[in-house]
Structure 1
């Protein structure tokens, strides 16, 4: 039997922590902001996958693969020498987004929609905004360490995909979207 991994190492009690390479940084360093925001995003996606009914099984499976990719992305940002997000992950997001938009055809929205609708749609909206925050955190991290362009492409496509999936699920659940209506004052 293998030795259990200790969750509490007590090495971060003074406000610093280490990345995979072993280098230590203060906990407010951009690397921890980026990796922490990815962790938060992954948790929101976990909530969404827990809420998805069997009728959305293929979308649940795809989101599970996205969650795996977020772990790869976090490891890469934490300076893992072996773990790299692949361009194929970006391609899969683009294909999934295109497929959902084609399935919605004429019901695809080109205007600003109010966040929410269904519970799943609302949680996807939160996940999308956390994804955007993660993207901004990674851009900030790029000032400290080199971030490969595929990482930013992935996060950008992921936020698009989460919005499209939210629209698709709200549509499938027959929710009538509420559009933002600009009123002159």
Structure 2
């Protein structure tokens, strides 16, 4: 491991720039910083989810995902660096199948809710979706490996399925969108 920070404030960012992992400096509002910053935010949202009562298998899975998100943030922070592998995406797909297969098919949209853990999982899912969009934006003018974008896409799907699992586990159940709640006025 490289140098560890012994002093947290460096004052080098006071001019609105930040250092990337390769030593170059970019504006703090650059597409690259937005992408890896949102990955960091998603990781924090999963940390908030982990602070709730969860089944052990879900807790273990989410902890593994946190490590992978940290790796992905590094990949996005260091131009040309590769950290997410096809095998990581395949493992997410396997977990998706594992958790989704026992669930009943969806016939309606689900609103974010279904108990505290499920609601936190939905929030993490939406942040991952934003990280995916920001990574796509970055890919329009800088190199982003397709594995990074695919990982985020699968992760948001997995978090959706886990939210369904957690809503059922909590006993709250899923909150279905009532699309017919507004009847047209004659």
SS at match of 1:162: helix
Deviation, 1:169, is: 1.1
Deviation at 1:176, TM superposition (A): 3.0
Q: Deviation digits for residues 100-147 of structure 1, max 9, x if unmatched?
A: 11232xx34342011111001111111011011000110111123111
Q: TM-score, normalised by structure 2?
A: 0.90
2:159 paired residue number: 162
Asked if the contact 2:79/2:143 (under 8 Å) is kept, the reply is no
Give the whole-Å Cα distance in 1 for the aligned partners of 2:18 and 2:4: 23
Q: Match of 2:44?
A: 43
Q: What secondary structure sits across from 2:102 in the alignment?
A: helix
Name the CA distance, whole Å, in 2 between partners of 1:3 and 1:127. 29
Q: CA RMSD in A?
A: 1.7
**Whole-Å separation in 1 of the counterparts to 2:148 and 2:81:** 15
Across the two proteins, how many residue pairs are aligned to each other?
180
Structure 2 residue 29 is matched with structure 1 residue 28: yes
Rounded to whole Å, the distance in 2 between the matches of 1:3 and 1:79 is 17
| Residue 98 (structure 2) pairs with residue 99 (structure 1) | yes
Structure 1 unaligned regions, length at least 5: none
Counterparts of 1:68 and 1:138, CA distance in 2? 19
State the SS of the aligned residue for 2:176: coil
Change (3 A) 1:74 1:173: same
| Partner of residue 125, structure 2 | 128
* Aligned equivalent of 1:150, options 124, 143, 147: 147
Instruction: Tell me if the contact between 2:80 and 2:143 (Cα under 8 Å) persists in the aligned partners.
Output: no
In structure 2, relative to structure 1, the CA distance for the partners of 1:75 and 1:162 (3 Å cut) is: same
Residues 1:110 and 1:146: Cα distance change in structure 2 (over 3 Å): farther
Cα drift, residue 42 of structure 1: 0.4
Deviations 1:62-109 (A, max 9, x none): 1111111111111111116555111111111111110111232xx343
SS in 2 for 1:92: helix
CA distance in 1, matches of 2:111, 2:5: 46
Compute the TM-score of the two structures, normalised by the length of structure 1: 0.90
